[in-house]
Structure 1
Amino acid sequence: PISPNSSKFRDEEEEKYFEKLGNLYQYTPPEYGFIGRDLEILKIEKALFRHNILLLQGMGGTGKTTLLNYLRSWWQTTNFAPEIFYFGYDKQAWTLTQILFDIGKRLYKKFEFANFQAMNLTAQMQKLLAKLRSESHILILDNLESVTGQALAIQNTLASAEQKQLQDFLTRLVGGETRVILGSRSDETWLQGAFRQNIYQLRGLDAEARTELSNKILERNVGDKRKIGKIREEEDFQKLMKVLAGYPLAMEVVLANLKNLSSQEILAKLAAADINLDTGSEDKTQSILKCVEYSHSNLSLDAQKLLLCLAPFSGFIDRSDIPNYAKQLQKLEQFQDDNFDKFDEAIQEAINWGLLSLINEDIPQLLQIQPVFPFFLKAKLAESDAATREALREGFKNHYIGLARSYNRYMESKEPQERQIGIFFCRLEYENLYNALQICLEKQETIDIFFCLFQYFYINNDIPSSLKLSEFVCNAQVAYPPEIRTGEIGLEIVMALDRLAVGYLQTQNYPQAQKSYLRVIELSQQLQGVEATQIKSSLASTYHQLGRVAEELRQYDQARDYYQQALEIKIEFGDRYSCARTYHQLGIVAQQLREYDQARDYYQQALEIYIEFGDRYSCASTYGQLGLLAQAEENYAEARANLQTALEIYVEYQDEYMATVTREILESLPE
């Protein structure tokens, strides 16, 4: 039995108790409540045990101050530390003298504090250092970017002598019991002796937290649950969420506009840098433009000018490729006299001020863009003349046409590692490639970027995305004038229509697929000024695909006729490699008609060509079909050998989908 014999407070006990309650930090949640950050809190706590001083760095709008305020409350509730001291440089320029006074007032009793005050600054610092190094308190210095900021841009700066005092104090806390968090947008190199390599990069909210925050914003600003449900299902809403990247301030400001605008309209306004999307507040914690301007104003004038050239980019920048981008710009009249030698230095300044950040510490050239930084740059760019803005779009477009061709070559490579490089960069660069493709369509120019993106979706088996992209491109090309529809651009129109037909075929929309392929044949025969081999290649490919459509409809005799037409054209102009695909499909038709010997002959011809040309990946499909053929003939040993070879190739090329399918067939074979 427990018998708590509590007694009444003595007067001094009661005073001490309520004084302690009064000194506790009273946490005020943000507008939509504190959401997510569980993993971040765990990582921050672990980092503080590894080294007692941590730099919490993040772009504007990531919610650093919100997180630190929540941590004050959380650590207070969980008794993580006896005392938690917080000094925000967004409110005032805290000098070391003021910090020592505030900490001493809370750590020392009345008379001891009076003695402490009587000491000079050096003695105060040494006395307090001894206490802090031996006791497990928490010290938080937030918004430190203000300390060294330009005086004209930021009010709460410290003189160099005061910076040196603060630096000395923090460095002397290294290795002690008190844990220190330094919150900043900047890299704070002047304090690196204190935090060393202990840096935590705060990014956007995770997927679950993003959904929760967006739900709360929609509930407040849209209200109607049915309308909210429709909004969430829209693809444009998903694009918008991707653009905002889970940054709380950007989400709160931008998503609130869904009260009056659609997701598509908001995306268009972001692309056009319509400042009416913003709150109009002068407070950097409420306005996305002011939030970015706060950091941007601290860049050198040269850096500000050079970084305007990043306005067309979204989400990602390959730092190592920026010199090539600069070369494209310098080919244009408006940028011929510009000096891009310091472009990399400007990018480093933007990293230092949290406008760009590393995606992966191990690959420093891959950079993430602060979600609203391009929006801010476009707003700044609007102040330039129209010719400069148009030249920037032209340079950006030309840069990505070149990159798209390079990525496509990688994805079509026979080497698995090269294919993965192409896929990796297309995933990171998707928004930039898509934006450049839109410019190409607007100018009615080459659509090489489309073929790259289609290949990316095709390799990843993302059929809905490839079909939607193909429909978008083909619809845009309808507006092309007749005079450019028969030359090189006409050939690209035919090729785009072919990709559209592939999408219809893969989604089992056979009537539309057949209609599109027949239209491809019609347009191919109208081409002029195009090499005969290109036209023949297009026709051969289309007859092959018409064979696929007939095959899916179980019209095997019709399918065989189409495949034979394709094969005759390929043999005529000597495209031996392309013959392999058609031999492969002829094998499938023969197998369906139970003409097993004929089927095996076709498969063997396809396999010989693939081996001859070193196309190991394509061999996998043919080995798979040989395995299925042997299975149909109940030759299970041969079936297992061929399927095992196919599986090994799929694993080598990291094709998880086909590897899984092949593995399931293998497991189903009788012993």
Structure 2
Amino acid sequence: MDKQYIAGGSGITAGGNVSFDDNSGQIAIGEYINQFNLENLSGKELAELIDTLNQKRKETANLRIASSYNPSILPDLPSRLREFVIENRVVELTQTLEYLQNHRVLLISGIGGVGKTTLARALVETIPANVPIPFWFDFNKNRNATLGDILEQLASYMNKPDIASFKPEGKDAGQDDINKLTAELSKREGVWLIFDNLETVLEGRNFHEEGIDQLFTSLRDSTHQARIIVTSRTLPVLKNGESLVDVIDEEKQELKGLNVNFGIDFLRKNGLDEVEPEKLEELVKGVEGHPLALKLLVKIVKKFGIKDALDDLSMYKGEKEDTIKKARRLFDKLAGDEKELLERIAVFRQPESMTALKKMFTDKTPKDALMKLIDSSLLETDCDGNYWLHPLVQEFSYDDLENKVEVHKLACEHYLSFPIPETRTKKEDVHPLIEAQYHACLAKEYDMAVAIIFSNNLNEDLDRWGNYRTLVDIYSDLLSDDSFKNPPLLSKMNIHSAVLGSLGLTYSKLGQVEKAIEYYEQGLVIARDIGDRLNEGKHLGNLAGAYRNLGQVEKAVEHYEQGLVIARNIGDKRSESNNLGNLGNAYFDFGQVEKATEYYEQALMIARDIGDRHGENTYLGNLGSAYYVLDQVEKATEYYEQALIIARDIGDKRGEGNHLENLGSAYYVLDQVEKATEYYEQALMIARDIGDKRGEGNRLGNLGNVYKNFNQVERAIEYYEQALKIATEIKNPRLFNICKENLEALKK
């Protein structure tokens, strides 16, 4: 069977165009041969191989291969760490270089802190020159990931939107979508897929999400040419009872610490060169070569002396504690007076500034605490103002933190102190708000957390940029684990109901319409229970929109009409106008465009009566689109131009861009091509200014159409290629397919 583990748990694979000669020990990679004897390969020789591969990757042919994939973000591997891994893990690296010539699935398993992620990252350095940078998915950073989330990222990485076609189709990802992935992998040579920290999505040894289980079952059993590298503290077992890898000997399977010689070398290079070799050997054996424990031992010997360190290890050995517990005890001893500060710093989930760290000081914190932590290697720094904790140190520290609520509240205050740009165009601009909301929830300040979202329009920004997964996370933080059964975390039921509706809207935009409906219906029940007619109407409108997306337009009309009745009963003119406009959209879908215009006119009249400039702007644009479809293009331009004036007056940049784009299309139909181009370019500029990637892609495609039809092939190709890149980035299959077809036609 074509799946295995390797003793030592590490590996190099050469991917495509690779052969391994068992007799000669030669590695044939790509179109060139490197002569190495795998049994005696040295760190220096491996480093030379990697340097050769890096040089090859710069060649034009290989750049072309790499550019056919979207880049995947890889963990950082500083040059010093890279050198250390190559020198000290050369045996494991070369073992798996041989192993992965004939096997697809590699599991790097072992206890925390032993270097699984670092080793997997080092493997990337060994990929052949003609193999793209691997796909890297870290489950530790995507703890709530679903099958759909993983396939969506793979579709983007492989420039293959069809793999994520379940999204525009409005359904959850399933086996058919996994089959599309494996079918694509069967066509491609040399693809590496790395899944880091897989234990995060395991319950015991089993996957807690059926879809992810199906994915790994298929990657294990189906025919394809990819290499799958997994890191996990725990050996995964599939739903069918089989292991993800064929486990023959679990004891041999795990990645161990450094061997004695390398461990001694590490201690010497880090300042213990004057300690007797036999004592260094005792230190290494005492912690079984565990990299973090060795790092801690260096500092303990320097601070307390070699005898003290050996006495401690002897005591721990007497209690027969495992390596993690030994590392934990070494950490506790080394932390000393700075332990409280470490525990408080552990609430941060990313590298932070000195200002953030000092926020965690107390009256008892020594003035030189940070320098002592850096000197003791308990606090990491890049010497560029960023500080963080080793994952295992963070785990130890956070576990011991008793006043978590208080400290998370301090972290929230720290992030709220950041100024937020007035003009926000990307997620990084609102990062402090995202972190503040996260810490507010962990401080059990749920009302504050919801205020951070809505008072700062954080939800609108993330929605505009398409950061729907982040929106799911922040809304979910405001709900109990089972919001359908457990009491709400928010103090006001109407706000709780509104959050449910917002989460539903986000799932709808992720293409999970059925899941969205569950949240809308839950919110609707609450709104009706508390007599909140306003939110009741909103949930009915959202449900209508969901049914419209599912193609159930009659059901959509039914819900819009119920919402319209409520709006009129409570005198909510704005909601009345919205429901009339949405009914117009529904009848537009039915092809009853004349009836749609009647509803748009009623909605427009109310919007003008109540001074709702946003609504007026929307309905004028809708009327323009209706008349455009009715072939009354000149009348359509009149409505678009009226809408454009209002959009500019009220500062609605998105609306302004849409109206400019529609005017471009109208003038294009009227054969006023120069005017059409001018409007498209203005619309494109606005999309770029506000970070509207979907609008940017559409407008680039429209400009491509203009230049294509006027035989300006080079300019058309330029615009289509830009649009194609964005379509891939935002997973827009329709735009992707249109641009791809046009590019293929133009390049013939």
TM-score (norm: length of structure 1): 0.49
Higher-Rg member (1/2): 1
